[in-house]
Amino acid sequence: MPACGRTFQWRKRWARTWPSVRWCSERCSRQHDTLPAAMQDHPSHEAAILALLAERGAGKTICPPEVLPPDEKQAAQREAVRAAARRLAHAGRIAITQRGVVVSPERAQGPIRLRLVR
């Protein structure tokens, strides 16, 4: 699983370096390189998502920015939380929904909600 939480397929151009490939695209790699180190692959985002969902209770959802403190809701940090949500969804611990319908973590664009898997 890449650090961004998206899945991707083996490509011939990656044949020699496949075990070390971490990014689904050059854009993803560039975006990650521009983030401060404190926001890259932050395991506490995953813990915060799970804690907030457990606090809300069964059947309740959260919006990814709710995980961040009010003064840290910048676009790059929101993307780091969405990446953590994708990793949790791939692990089967949460579901990502749009308009109440569970969607694939790779296909989710725009506003999303997170909930514990039922």
Number of domains comprising the chain: 1
**Token reading at 54:** 């457990």
Q: Return the pLDDT at 62.
A: 94
Whether 45 maps to a domain, the answer reads yes
CATH of the domain at 79: 1.10.10.10
Both ends of the chain: CA-CA distance in Å? Answer: 23
Instruction: Answer yes or no: is 31 within a domain.
Output: no
Tokens of 69: 């403190």
For residues 9 and 5, the model is more confident at 9
Residue 35 belongs to a domain: no
Q: Is residue 17 assigned to a domain?
A: no
In a domain, 9, yes or no: no
Residue 3 lies in a domain: no
Domain range for 66 is 40-116
SS3 content of the chain, % helix, strand, coil (to 5): 45, 10, 45
- What tokens were used for 71? 């003064």
Least confident segment among 7-11, 30-34, 53-57, 70-74: 30-34
> How do residues 63-106 score in pLDDT, each as one tens digit?
998 988 887 767 778 888 888 899 899 889 999 999 999 998 88
Q: Distance of CA 25 to CAs 28, 35, 36, 83, 117, Å?
A: 5, 16, 19, 14, 29
d(CA 4, CA 106): 10
Half-sphere exposure of 118 (CA within 13 A, CB side): 7
4 inside domain: no
pLDDT digit string, tens, across residues 46-58: 999 999 999 998 8
Instruction: Calculate Rg over the CA atoms of the chain.
Output: 15
Torsion of CA 11, 14, 18, 20, to 10 degrees: -130
